[in-house]
Amino acid sequence: MKKVASVLVENFKQWGVHHVFGIPGKAISPILFELLSYEMEFVLSKHEGAAGYEAAGYSLMNDTIGVAVGTSGPGGTNLLSAAGQATASHIPLLLITGHPSMKDTGKAMGQDSSIFGTDLTDMFQTVTKFSARVERGDMLQPYLQHALEKAVTGVKGPVHLSIPFDILLSEIEPFLLEFPTSHELISPIACEVAQQLDDAKRPLLFVGKGVHSSKSYAEVQHLAEHWNIPVVTTPGGKGAFPSNHSLSLGAFGLGGTPEASQYLSDGVDLLIVIGSQLSDMSIAGLSEAMYPKQVLHFDYNPTFIGKSLPVSTTPILGDIKSNLTAILKDVPKTDSGSFKLEVTKNVLEENTPGKRMSAIQVLKAMRNALTEDAIVFGDDGSHSFYGIQHFDIYQPGTFFFDDIFGAMGNGIGYAVGAKLAAPEKLIVCLVGDGCMFMHGTELSTAYNYDSAVLFIVVNNGRLDMVEKGMRKMIGTSIGGIYETPLDAAAFARSMGLEANTCTTPVEIAESIQQALVRIQETNKPYVIEALVDEHEIPPTMGRQ
């Protein structure tokens, strides 16, 4: 017989999980004690929400499930945003929260997480794929198995278990759950797609974040190259297709390129949507005159297919990678090298004396100085939309951004967790001052656990998207400007990190080179603060 907490941790190890993220509390302390026995690292985050983001980044980079724990009451409610973010990003995440005691449920208890207090099981229902309370030790195996299967198969996402303190200490027969093998669904009409692509006169590939989730980068590129179809990416699909490819038209939607808009304006007879819900972020700027004649829509989830564009739509349901593989099984390989354009360095123009540099200059300087395989996590805000428009992608799977839930600060946590999962990779977090105000204390987590992320903080002293959006609507803004702006470099140094403040694009490029050397030498994170023009208009004003 073993304690429930011990069986839990033993299963984590079985699944390839070596880090658990969270903040201690009595209700979950039995889990933390067991981590010592299994030589697993508990990462002390500075906020439970950030712990959830870190676990999600860990999962994304490690191809397993991320685990975050929060104590009863507020520890659990703080994890709700992380659950919503993981749902939007389709990332497998196991969130475990506590409850004081099952045997005392119904009595007055502090941080009660049952139906008599803050019912965490109920609260997580709408932001996870599965949420349940384990009320007896013998319930752990079926509930944990169900949660794991829900998290990692089909449309991947977060799950939640509430496990009371006394249940964690109870003893049960030990068990080990194998990590599920996904049996991916293939659409019965996938075989008809090739003929439709053959017949199309002016097709366009519209690539979303589902390509990241299914890791179908090679299949999308093969399809585009064989049928010679131009490609645009949604904001969330940024990084799914190389921008130095002759078929790339860049992004569409918020942060989109003129080339993408022009191609749609000139007429599309077949729009092949792959892994996008076609949200308002993704089709911002798409007028009725630009509508395609027909849509082929690849997605696992049929909920939003046919809802955004009132044109004839054929759903290709099931796993994106499996469906594309089926379509391409008899299609000869293409020479991807012949489609690649030469990578050219941006010319770093100095900003006008006495004026701050633009965010565009920052992104171009970043691209010049970073390696082609650097993995960038864009936090939510104007800074990432500048990245969508101006940061070139040379290798698929090297830029991640969520345009749906949009929790500020998520990119900080994702980057920290990703670096712990893949310490050999160069992980970069593109973040704004607003996001840094929200979850910037995770710089301390990165420092303490040797998560050597390069943080680039685009600082203009305001909540840029909101502030500029208000001005567009009513001519002024309310609460969008910080009376005392963030000194990001001083903030970082207060937690032990090395940091530079830059005022020109040349300084940005030089600081990145310096940071990459220091990261290699110290295995510690590094912060570069870029002071940018407060009045620059971001590429997000097209949203209605």
Closest CA to 264 of 291, 245, 230: 291
SS3 296: strand
* Contact present, 90 and 210 (Cβ < 8 Å): yes
Model's pTM, two decimal places? 0.96
Which domains occur in the chain, in start order? 2-172 (3.40.50.970), 190-339 (3.40.50.1220), 359-531 (3.40.50.970)
Whether 457 and 382 have beta carbons less than 8 Å apart is answered as: no
**Using CA atoms, how far apart are residues 427 and 425, in angstroms rounded to an integer?**
6
Instruction: Give the pLDDT of the chain (544 residues) as one tens digit per residue.
Output: 999 999 999 999 999 999 999 999 999 999 999 999 998 999 999 999 999 999 999 999 998 999 999 999 999 999 999 999 999 999 999 999 999 998 878 888 878 888 888 899 999 999 999 999 999 999 999 999 999 999 999 899 999 999 999 999 999 999 999 999 877 789 999 889 999 999 999 999 999 999 999 999 999 999 999 999 999 999 999 999 999 999 999 999 988 999 999 999 999 999 999 999 999 999 999 999 999 999 999 998 899 999 999 999 999 999 999 999 999 999 999 998 889 888 878 778 888 887 999 999 999 999 999 999 999 999 999 999 999 999 999 999 999 999 899 999 999 999 999 999 999 999 999 999 999 999 999 999 999 999 999 999 999 999 998 898 889 899 898 999 999 999 999 999 999 999 999 999 999 999 999 999 999 999 999 999 999 999 999 988 765 5
> Which residue has 């658990």 as its token pair?
20
User: Residue 264 in contact with residue 290, Cβ under 8 Å?
Assistant: yes
Supply 428's token pair. Answer: 């970069």
CA-CA distance, 353 to 264, in Å (whole number)? 40
